[in-house]
Amino acid sequence: MSRFPSDYLERVYAGVLGKLIGVYLGRPFEGWGYRQILERLGPIRYYVHERLEKPLVVTDDDISGTFTFVRALEDFGCRADLSAAEIGRTWLNYIVEDRAILWWGGMGASTEHTAFARLKKGIAAPRSGSMELNGQVVAEQIGAQIFIDGWALVCPGDPERAAALAERAARVSHDGEAVHGAVALAAMEAQAFVEPDMDKLFDLARRFVPADCVIRRLTDEIRDWARADRDWEKTFARIEAAYGYDKFGGGCHMVPNHAVIVLALAYAPDDFQQALLIANTAGWDTDCNSGNVGCLLGIKLGLKGLDAGPDWRQPVADRLFLPTADGGRCVTDAARETCELAKTAHALYGEPFAAPKGGARFHFELPGSVQGFAFEESPECRCIGAVWNAAGHGAAGRRRLALGYNGLAPGRAARAATPTFIAPDAAKMPGYGLLASPTLYPGQTLRAAVEADAHNAQPVNAGLYVRYYGEQDRPAYARGEPRALAPGARAELEWLVPDLGGRPIFDVGLELASTERAGGVVYLDRLDWSGPPRVVFGHSGEKETFWQRAWVNAAERAGFGGPARPYRILQAEGTGLLIQGTREWAGYRVEALTVPHLAADAGLAACVQGQERYYALVLSHPNRIRLVKRFYGARVLAEAAFPWRFDQQVELALETRGGRLRAFAGGKLVLEARDEKDPLASGAVALLCAEGRTDWGPVKVTPLD
């Protein structure tokens, strides 16, 4: 018998959605105070982003950190004894300095920036976040709490393990009360899978924090005040007096914000909308507090709790961004991240995980999920359709995505798509940096299962398509061969994405068309793609920039030039990378002309899974060529003498298949190696330069036959 609750996957999904909704709700007025919020916005009952002329779905550290740092479990073998030091190495692997995930507010101002600087200098966690090293004010800011939900989501009904993992994660960057608050919240969230009573969850949390800590005292006091006051605003006035920002140092201390979380949960333990109203109207770090409250209540109340009030989910459409050095994971969705967490959780407890519909990227099996799909609103398609999650129509599962359309006719189409890269409306994302690579590339094979509703009055043509950035970055289309679907007919669509001149694909979807006026419903059961790409990344046009943005810049400086040498890295210290691709790529060859103008190392990398996990073929100064494995430290797998000089052009190529590596220089095989220990079976490609300047020609990636 499984230790997991029967509704575990749906409850994780509800927790992920609760986190997203809470963050997106509170982000537009983050940092405002209670009185300012009431004066300008009134009580926060629903999204206010449009009133403040801001986007809803944004990059945010609460989201990026939560769903990235928990990947330490997968990367280090899904062990219960995962250490703080290993979680710290995960920071160094995924965080691109000054560009991604964290608030880069400066050493001594931003707790996370301070901890990252410590880690980079070789100070391992937990010392990297210690009060001894960083002082009490820095160590007790809010960050430990905002990143903590992932550890609870993988430990359902096991508060002890959730608390232990959360403490180790928190101590990478924090100490003192910040750790206590994070641990208490993680224990409550883990137990919320099996315990519906909020008072019992509060009582449970007391076991995991010291009896004399501020977090325990304020929690007990706020619960007592709530019973006596029966008015959250009256209780909040007490919180302001006893635990307000003026009582604690730094810009965003843990204690006042944890108090707001307790306030919201004490007054609205079973009301998602009211709890978010309290957490956001009270002010302070609204996106952080609202995100934690939303996640806990999502777990506790499930999807029915989220859906009991206004429609929180449709505007979000499951969308989120995770900008890291693993750029192919940036553009993602709540259902995909739910399955990743569930897979990790099952591995952590030694149980198999059956991914929906055989692991299809888009499966729509979770109630209400649309996984980012929406109908295109171009003049040709406007007001022609709607998408929703439909039960009872799945051939391989219980649910599908329904594409309802009306008014199809010659010249009028219905196109429903989901993002695969930075979409035009996200190109100028404010706030935290949006680092991403596409998830879909030319040379990969798209597969989809579709069905026309039996009640449709007319046949409809259905075909796969992609949009990409064409000339001067204008959206352009590539289409597969459409299939005619009679009412009730099913079809398997398959399409090899063609060469697009190295330009990035930004969405993928299904196009519906008809030679006569038609209305009805087509169901998309699943959509997926496979295989490494067949693509040449080069210079696609003088007035085009998205081919550059498709590379994750993990170098001190990166430049983009003309057609002959479109790529350049300038790196004064350490190793800089330009990364493109996804972790799923396996069995391929990467090649490019490499021109080291001045460098200790210069070359190509494959199976890139971040900044600390990859294979590389490098020209090393002086006169060596090496196959190197970077795995939280460098190890030479093979090397040979190879005379080369600065400014010399060398054609380099690296082949990788399941830990077997072959390296070529000038068209000749120069090195071979087999990595027997923890082989990296898949990953993106990268250009690499250490301590100098290197240029590259177009980069070619092809499958190994």
CATH of the domain at 441: 2.60.120.260
Backbone dihedral angles phi then psi of residue 570, each to the nearest 5 degrees: -125, 120
**Can you tell me the mean pLDDT for 234-250?**
96
How high is the pLDDT of residue 168? 98
**Can you tell me the mean pLDDT for 74-82?**
98
Q: Which of 295, 321, 347 is the endpoint of a domain?
A: 321
Number of domains present in the structure of the chain: 3
Whether 686 is covered by a domain: the verdict is yes
* pLDDT averaged over every residue in the chain: 96
Residue 647 DSSP SS3: coil
Q: How far is CA 161 from CA 5, 157, 187, 384, in A?
A: 16, 9, 8, 50
Task: Give the residue with greater pLDDT, 377 vs 422.
Answer: 422
Whether 40 is covered by a domain: the verdict is yes
pLDDT at 393 over 70: no
CATH code where residue 263 lies: 1.10.4080.10
pLDDT digits (tens, 9 = 90+) for 319-357: 999 999 999 999 999 999 999 999 999 999 999 999 999
Q: Which two tokens stand for residue 78?
A: 């899904």
* DSSP string for 174-215: --THHHHHHHHHHHHHHHTTT---HHHHHHHHHTTS-TTSHH
Whether 539 is covered by a domain: the verdict is no
CATH code where residue 590 lies: 2.60.120.560
603 & 667 share domain: yes
- Choose the weakest-confidence range: 213-227, 292-306, 529-543: 529-543
pLDDT at 677 over 90: no
Whether 538 is covered by a domain: the verdict is no
pLDDT at 7 over 70: yes
Number of C-beta neighbours around residue 570 at 10 A? 17
pLDDT digits (tens, 9 = 90+) for 21-59: 999 999 999 999 999 999 999 999 999 999 999 999 999
**Can you tell me the mean pLDDT for 616-643?**
97
Q: Which of 321, 356, 382 is the endpoint of a domain?
A: 321
307 & 414 share domain: no
Q: Which of 478, 496, 530 is the endpoint of a domain?
A: 530
Q: Note the helical H segments in 468-581.
A: 546-549
Whether 362 is covered by a domain: the verdict is no
426 & 491 share domain: yes
Quickly state the pLDDT bin for 245 (edges 50, 70, 90): very high
**Can you tell me the mean pLDDT for 298-320?**
97
pLDDT at 395 over 70: no
Backbone dihedral angles phi then psi of residue 80, each to the nearest 5 degrees: -65, -25
214 & 306 share domain: yes
580 & 633 share domain: yes
Whether 540 is covered by a domain: the verdict is no
108 & 246 share domain: yes
Q: Which two tokens stand for residue 76?
A: 């280090």
283 & 153 share domain: yes
404 & 456 share domain: yes
Q: How far is CA 194 from CA 159, 188, 201, 299, 345, in A?
A: 11, 10, 10, 9, 16
Whether 114 is covered by a domain: the verdict is yes
- In sequence order, the 6+-apart residues with CB closer than 8 A to the CB of 627 are 615, 616, 617, 636, 637, 638, 639, 661, 663, 671, 673
120 & 192 share domain: yes
What is the residue range of 264's domain? Answer: 8-321
pLDDT at 1 over 80: no
Amino acid letter for position 302: G
Quickly state the pLDDT bin for 394 (edges 50, 70, 90): low
pLDDT digits (tens, 9 = 90+) for 572-627: 999 999 999 999 999 999 999 999 999 999 999 999 999 999 999 999 999 999 99
The answer to whether the CB of 529 falls within 8 A of the CB of 444 is yes
The tally of CA atoms less than 13 A away on the side-chain side of residue 82 is 32
Look up the pTM and report it: 0.97
Nearest to 299 by CA among 586, 59, 498, 12: 12
Q: How far is CA 199 from CA 148, 268, 358, 458, in A?
A: 21, 12, 40, 57
Whether 193 is covered by a domain: the verdict is yes
Q: How far is CA 155 from CA 78, 149, 150, 201, 344, in A?
A: 12, 10, 9, 15, 10
How high is the pLDDT of residue 383? 76
Q: What percent of the chain has pLDDT over 90?
A: 95
Q: Which two tokens stand for residue 524?
A: 């998309």
Give 3-state DSSP helix, strand, coil % of the chain, rounded to 5.
35, 30, 40
263 & 193 share domain: yes
How high is the pLDDT of residue 465? 98
304 & 406 share domain: no
243 & 386 share domain: no
Quickly state the pLDDT bin for 252 (edges 50, 70, 90): very high
Nearest to 699 by CA among 609, 600, 616, 604: 604
pLDDT at 396 over 80: no
pLDDT digits (tens, 9 = 90+) for 175-187: 999 999 999 999 9
Quickly state the pLDDT bin for 377 (edges 50, 70, 90): confident
